[in-house]
Structure formats: structure tokens, C-alpha cells
Structure 1
Amino acid sequence: MREVTLPTGERVPALGLGTWKMGEAPRQQAAEVAAVRQALEMGYRLIDTAEMYGEGGAETVVCQALAEALRAGTVARQDLFIVSKVYPHNASRAGVQAACERSLRRLGLDQLDLYLLHWRGGVPLADTLAGFAALQQRGLVRHWGVSNFDLDDLEELAALPGGAACAANQVYYSLSQRGIEFDVAPWQRQRRMPVMAYSPIDQGALAAQPGLDDIARRLQATPAQVALAWLLAQPGTMAIPKAVREVHLRENLAAADLTLSPDDLAQLDALFPPPRRKQPLAML
């Protein structure tokens, strides 16, 4: 598995499993638990979730899958990297701590490896940082970060006491959404702060992108794998595609082993040109 380096020097998997839209329908819970469990058996070690996903339902799905895998000896807790996120309206100094405690109960864990502010809200960033620092002091969170932050948000964050400790910024980033390459991604690379890419294959839309077929055939891969391999080849970039079906879980994992040639990369740049000016931050 490829890895990226956090600002602390810790190395974490570059490919993980996203859980957005899991935990929303009780009738689908068994299949979703099975999918997360299967992902762990295949070798996924990074799982991304949030209190927003299914209003805690996704965390409950992850809890059941983790508990089963840990009991079976499929994984050890120290080998996992579990990420969750706090709603902006819960991100006050006291609120972020209470929200984290609820997430940990739903996940059945004593500690999160990474805890993110899901997006900017009305709570001052300094208050959220104070809450994150308190969680670290209590041992409930190892790293903290942000999500859906544009460059001005990141600069404001970095200027605050303790702001330089931000471990990651999770944003919408894919072949079709390359706006962060103009400013956000270079800024983060200078600080060894990874980009966590959500919806890295546009919720599956890139799997049907005709222009990717030539490269996919050459590599004996799928268009979705090409799109994911391109993203994982970007410096300091992690990807967290959501998948439930076994075939997609396996395809996503195999994409991490694909190597794109300079000609492949040039062809992809022609199909999906990099930005030449500042663009609004893409969000879903």
C-alpha cells in the first residue's frame, strides 16, 4: 500500500475506504457492515466516516465491522487509522469534545486517529482548535485536521496558535475537479500536510468517462482505476473512495498498484486540463 506522510512524520495509507451515505437505511446495514468487514480483510486500514453520515449511522456500521474484525484477529487496532468529523455547529471548545465522545461511543473506540472539522461554520476557529487540543490532551484524538478548507481558510488557520498542527485537509479532488492544484495543494505540500480526496472518482461518474478507455485498455484496467491511480500519483495525496460491492473494493485497492507513464499523464492533462487560475473550492 502506498503511504503519505503527516506533518508529524507518521506514515499512513494513501488509500482508504469512505463511508459517506452509509448508515442511512436500516435494511442496508448488514450489507454495509459486510462491505467494511470485507475491506478490512482485503487490506484496507484507513476508514473515513463522520457524525453527519447517516446522523451517526455510518459510525455504527464501522463499529460493528471493526468489532467483528478485531475479534476475529483480522486486524489489530494499532494497525488501523480511523477518521471521523465534527459538524461545524458542534465545533465549539466544549461542543467538539462532546461530539467526539459521542462518535467514539458509536464507533466503539477509545481514540480517533484523525478528527476533522467537516467544514467552516459560525464557531471561531480558535475555539475549535482549543477543543481539538483538549481532546489530544485527554488522549481521545491523536491528530486533528479540517475539511473543505480553501486557501484563505488554511491561511487563517495557520496564523492561529497551534494552527500549524493541522494534519490534513479533506476536499473534493478528482480528475474533473482539479482546482486545488492552483493554490491549495501547493500550499499544503510546502507544509507536508496531505490532501485527503473525497469522491475521487466523482461518485462513480469517471468510470463512464470515454476518454479514459484508451489508457485503461493499455493498462488492462478500468477507467475508474485509471482515475484513482492518477490521484494517488499526486504528491501528498490520499483518496477515500466509498465502495460496497466486492468488485469495486478490489478494483480500488488494485488501482494503488497501477503506474501511469508520462504519456498517460499527458493524455490525462489534455482530457482534464489543470487549472490556470484560482477556482472556487469544489464541494459536494
Structure 2
Amino acid sequence: MRTRPIGPYGTAVSVIGQGTWQLERADRRTAVRALNTGIDAGMTHIDTAESYGGGAVEQLVGEAVRHRRHEVFLASKVRAANASAHGTVAACDRSLRRVGTDHLDLYLLHWPGGHPLEETLAGLRALHRAGKILHYGVSNFHDRHLAELFARTGPDEIVCDQVLHHLGDCSAELRVAPACLARGIAVVGYSPFGLGSFPPSPRAAAVLDSVARTHGATRHQIALAFLVREPHSFAIPKTATPSRAEENAAAAEITLSDEDIARIAAVCPVPADDGTPSSASGRRP
């Protein structure tokens, strides 16, 4: 599994990790096995949140990593509604108990807007000083949210922005990714296979299948390889199927040619910049 630094601290993280949104809907034993299969294949970045299954997914993740916590780069998120200074600390403490660990490697504000950003940052900084979180960042922050964030944080403070990023919605590449790159901040793409429609079009399907044949890969693997092609980008696909976890992990070893990238970009274009502020899309809990 390829790794790359996440954020300004140089911590090496697998370019493809494991998302867990709605994992509580899967058979628990199979889901735990899928997570461990992913870890075995090198997908050691596991992302979860207090809102997933009302905390049930954090407990599931805790079960999966109980005997191998040291192998995992574990991320969770505080709900915007809980993200006051005190509420952020309290939410993190609850997450730590559910997972069964004394620290999180990464803690994110799940959405902007629940409480003043200064309050959330105060809570995140307190958790960092206490050693309960090693890094912190944000999720679903777009243009104006990033501008506000950058005005209130130091140059090496935030490590990533986690955003929707899939072949049917590459809008994060328009302004979010360049803004983050300028600050040395990673972009972690969630739902890399979309929100119910993959591939996004018949033309995209044809191109993905053609490129996949060239690499002896699947269309899902080619999509992941495309989404993590930039040196600051990561992806966190979710699966409850062990064989799919292995398939996702293997995508990290695929190197697309310039021609491959151009062909995929032609059928999955970044939208034109019309000058209006972008906003979070594909809202999830």
C-alpha cells in the first residue's frame, strides 16, 4: 500500500483508507472481517464519526481494531451540533470510550456552522494538548468556510479537509483542493463511488472499462486510482465485503498514464468555475 504524508506534520497515511458511514446496516461479523481484511491489505486509515449509527459504528470499529490499535490511523468526527468548546471535548471523550482507545490519530469537525468556529477550535486545541487527539481537521468545508478557517488557524494546524469526491462530482478539484494544497492540507475524499450511481454515465463506464482492461484491473480500482492521483489526495471507500476491501486496497498500486487520466477526465470533467461560492453537496449524517 502506498502512503503519503497527511498535512504538514509528515505523518504517513495509506492513500486509500476505509470509510464506515452506514456500516451499522451490514452484518456485524462480516463488517468487522472486512475492516480487518482492509487493514491486512494496508488500508490502515479508518474513518468514522460519532453520528454514524448513533455511535454504533465507532463501537464496531473498536471491535475490529481492539487487538491491533497500534497499526491503525484512526479518525473520528464531532457533530456540528456538539462542537462548542466544551461539547467538542465531551464528544471526543465519548468517542474514545466507544472505540476503546486513549487517543484518536485524527479528529474532525464534521460540518461547519453548528457553533462559532473559535469555540470548536478551542476544544480541538485542548484535546490536542491533552494528547487525546494527535491531529485535527475539518470535513465538508468549502470556499467561504475554508477562508474563515484559514483566518483563525496557524499554518501548520489543520491537516485535512474531508469532502465528497467521486467521478460524478469532482467539484472539490475546482477550488477546495487548490486552496488546501496552498496550505499543505490534505484532501480526503469520501464516497468515491458516488451516492448511488457508479459509474456516473455510460460514457464514463466505457472509458473506465477500457482503462481497466489495460491495467488488468476493475472499473472501481481505476476510479480510485484516478481520485488519488494528486500528491495531496486520499480516498476512503466503504465496504462491508472482505473481497471488495482487498480490491480497493490493490487500487493504490495502479499508476495511471497521462493518457489514462486525460481520457477519464474528459468523461468526468471538473465543472466550470462560474464564480459563485461552492457549497457542500451530497449531505450525509
TM-score between both structures, scaled by the size of structure 1: 0.91
Deviation at 1:267, TM superposition (A): 0.7
Aligned to 1:23: 24
1:245 equivalenced with 2:231 (yes/no): no
Tell me what 2:80 maps to: 88
Change (3 A) 1:24 1:163: farther
Deviations 1:21-56 (A, max 9, x none): 01246xx22221222122222332111000111011
Give the superposition deviation at 1:257. 0.6
CA displacement 1:109-151 (0-9 Å, x = unmatched) = 0000000000012300000000001101111011110000002
Distance in 1 (alpha carbons) for counterparts of 2:195 and 2:124: 30
1:203 to partner: Cα distance: 4.8
Which AA in structure 2 matches 1:66?
A: V
Q: Counterparts of 1:189 and 1:122 in 2: how far apart (Å)?
A: 26
What amino acid is the match of 1:14?
Answer: V
Alpha carbons of 1:240 and 1:125: their partners in 2 closer, same or farther (altered >3 Å)? same
Q: CA deviation at 1:243?
A: 1.1
1:184-223 deviation line (CA, Å, top 9, x unaligned) = 1001111110000000121573358333111111211111
1:234-274 Cα distance to aligned partner (Å, 9 max, x none): 23001000011122111101111111111111111111122
Structure 2 CA distance for aligned equivalents of residues 211 and 281 of structure 1? 28
Q: What is the rounded CA distance, in whole Å, between the counterparts of 1:106 and 1:76 in structure 2?
A: 14
CA contact (8 A) 2:31 2:241 kept: no
Distance (Å, rounded) in 2 between the aligned partners of 1:34 and 1:15: 18
Are positions 1:4 and 2:19 aligned together?
Answer: no
Letter in 2 for 1:2: R
Q: What pairs up with 1:140-219 in 2 under 5 angstroms?
A: 140-162=132-154, 165-203=157-195, 205-206=197-198, 209-219=205-215
Where structure 2 has 5 or more consecutive residues not aligned to the other structure, the ranges are: none
Q: Which residue of 2 aligns with 1:130?
A: 122
1:30 counterpart SS class: helix
1:32 aligns with 2:31: yes
Aligned AA (1:54)? G
Q: What corresponds to 1:275 in structure 2?
A: 271
The DSSP-based 3-state class of the residue aligned with 2:8 is: coil
Cα distance in 2, alignment partners of residues 32 and 261 from structure 1: 34
Give the structure 2 partner of residue 222 of structure 1: 218
Partner Cα distance (2:209, 2:182) in 1: 34
Distance 1:30 1:273 in 2: 39
Choose between structure 1 and 2 for higher RCO, CA contacts under 8 A separated by at least 6 residues: 2
Q: RMSD over aligned Cα, in angstroms?
A: 1.8
* Distance across 1 between alignment mates of 2:34 and 2:195: 17
The whole-number CA distance in structure 2 between the counterparts of 1:163 and 1:131 is: 18
What amino acid is the match of 1:4?
A: R
- Residue of structure 2 equivalent to 1:118: 110
Question: 95, 111, 134: which one pairs with 1:103?
Answer: 95
What is the distance in 2 between the residues matched to 1:158 and 1:110? 29
Residue aligning to 1:60: 59
Distance (Å, rounded) in 2 between the aligned partners of 1:282 and 1:30: 32
- Which residue of structure 2 lines up, in the alignment, with residue 264 of structure 1? 260
Query: Is the Cα–Cα contact under 8 Å of residues 2 and 256 in structure 1 kept in the other structure?
Result: yes
For residue 76 of structure 1, report the CA deviation from its aligned partner.
5.6
Contact 2:170–2:270 under 8 Å retained in 1: yes
> Residues 179 and 281 of structure 1 are in contact (CA less than 8 Å); yes or no, is this contact kept in structure 2?
no
CA contact (8 A) 2:82 2:114 kept: no
**After TM superposition, where is structure 1 displaced by more than 4 Å over at least 4 residues in a row?**
161-164
